[in-house]
Amino acid sequence: LAVSDRISRLIPYQPGKPIDEVKRELGIVGDVIKLASNENPLGPSPAGIAALQTVLPTLALYPDGACHTLRLAVAKKHGVSPDSLIFGNGSDEVIHLLGLTFLEPGDEIIVGDPTFVLYEAAATLAGATTVKVPLTPGDLRHDAAAMAAACTEKTRLVFVANPHNPTGSVISKADVETLLAALPPRAFLVLDEAYAEYVEDDPSLPRALDYLAAGAPVICLRTFSKLYGLAGFRVGYAVAAPDVIALLNQGRSPFNVNLAGQVAATAALTDTEFIARSKQNNDEGIAQLIAGFQRLGLSWVPTRANFIVVDTGRPAKAMFDALLKQGIIVRAFPKDLPTHLRVTIGTPEQNARFLEALEACLS
Ligand code: PMP
């Protein structure tokens, strides 16, 4: 079929393998653990789940297309006006809306390389070009000076995930300022804070909302898929100036955020016990994995997110397959990171099992 280049050039997103598929493919009967998609290993927010009791009797009705209750709760949490928010079927959908709204053929976006693949997908769908700026060698951080130098009058969106996926690294306030200073008129810096809840207590790190409050051309992306443990419900959002949000809203499909997701997300926002427990599990899990990597003589990329990249010194695909045979699903990016694996921080038991399997694969 002849279709536009925008579609034919797209490579469908390849998510982490689902547990059931791995069991079927490899004939594994025992436990399989998935540490591949940066999900919360403690499960969903209990308050979010409890709130779902109210949902079943109203399932015959469309959800609130404006996400009114969730909107007010998120606005209160961030201290922003409700019209500074747009919700999506995951922040994935908001990224697509950014492309649909702000990009045209001939426009450019600037991203780190490697980075989260959906930025490029959104640009390709809009017929725009993705300018990829390599991460710094060795420590795999965004090279803000090189990204700033890549800005031209064609640049419309500069995407920085902070903390970054797939590396877990963070950028500095000075880096954000470098990027903002380089933006041409009509361009935005998209700070994708999918993992920001894990570093919210660190005042030394740049916060998209502070730049937004100061009137900078920033769009902040957030999600309920990570710390809040609600990836299955697909709820994400953007915070931006109300005129930016109004434009994004024009291309949004009417009932894009499902009813259960809205209810669970609203309750999860104030589930303080679960939030604290999830952060603690993450901090302790990072320390546990780093201790294991040290013992195995492996190097890793310092992380501030809920995953860590380890350099196994062996071909990434072979290591991925070997771990899979032991019932552990991780993530490999062989083209970009030939000897690295990205592993989600699990429970203490999952981390221990991963380290044991890793050791076995290395010997
Ligand atoms: N941004 C980044 C940096 C991510 O890692 C992810 C999840 N993989 C997303 C956005 C999308 O999250 P969701 O669609 O689940 O909200």
How many angstroms separate the alpha carbon of residue 96 from the centre of ligand 1? 12
For residue 156, name the pLDDT band (cuts at 50, 70, 90).
very high
Radius of gyration of the chain (CA): 20
For residues 238 and 219, give the distance between their C-alpha atoms in angstroms, rounded to a whole number: 7
pLDDT at 29 over 80: no
For residue range 211-222, what is the model confidence (pLDDT) as tens digits? 999 999 999 999
The pLDDT assigned to 26 comes to 82
Is 163 close to ligand 1, i.e. is its CB under 6 Å away? Answer: no
Calculate mean pLDDT across residues 96-111. Answer: 98
Nearest residue CA, atom 6 of ligand 1? Answer: 194
Calculate mean pLDDT across residues 177-184. Answer: 98
The pLDDT assigned to 246 comes to 98
The pLDDT assigned to 20 comes to 85
For residue range 48-73, what is the model confidence (pLDDT) as tens digits? 999 999 899 999 999 999 999 999 99
For residue 11, name the pLDDT band (cuts at 50, 70, 90).
confident
- Closest ligand 1 atom to Cα of 94: 14
For residue 317, name the pLDDT band (cuts at 50, 70, 90).
very high
How many angstroms separate the alpha carbon of residue 97 from the centre of ligand 1? 14
Give CA separation, 75 vs 3, 85, 90, 240, 295, in Å.
Answer: 41, 8, 18, 12, 45
The pLDDT assigned to 184 comes to 97
The pLDDT assigned to 256 comes to 98
Nearest residue CA, atom 5 of ligand 1? Answer: 165
Task: List the Cα angle 355/358/359 in 5-degree steps.
Answer: 85
Burial class of 1 by CB neighbour count within 10 A (0 to 12, 13 to 18, 19+): exposed
For residue 5, name the pLDDT band (cuts at 50, 70, 90).
confident
Q: What is the mean pLDDT of the chain?
A: 96
The pLDDT assigned to 308 comes to 98
Calculate mean pLDDT across residues 177-198. Answer: 98
Is 90 close to ligand 1, i.e. is its CB under 6 Å away? Answer: yes
For residue 10, name the pLDDT band (cuts at 50, 70, 90).
confident
List, in order of start, the domains of the chain with CATH numbers. Answer: 5-43+272-362 (3.90.1150.10), 46-268 (3.40.640.10)
Is 300 close to ligand 1, i.e. is its CB under 6 Å away? Answer: no
Q: What does the block give as tokens for 34?
A: 């998935």
Nearest residue CA, atom 1 of ligand 1? Answer: 194
The pLDDT assigned to 27 comes to 83
Q: What does the block give as tokens for 40?
A: 């919360």
Q: What does the block give as tokens for 160?
A: 């920085």
For residues 135 and 114, give the distance between their C-alpha atoms in angstroms, rounded to a whole number: 7
Q: Is 68 helix (H, G, I), strand (E, B) or coil?
A: helix
How many angstroms separate the alpha carbon of residue 116 from the centre of ligand 1? 8
pLDDT at 152 over 80: yes
Nearest residue CA, atom 4 of ligand 1? Answer: 194
Task: List the Cα angle 68/218/269 in 5-degree steps.
Answer: 35
How many angstroms separate the alpha carbon of residue 231 from the centre of ligand 1? 9
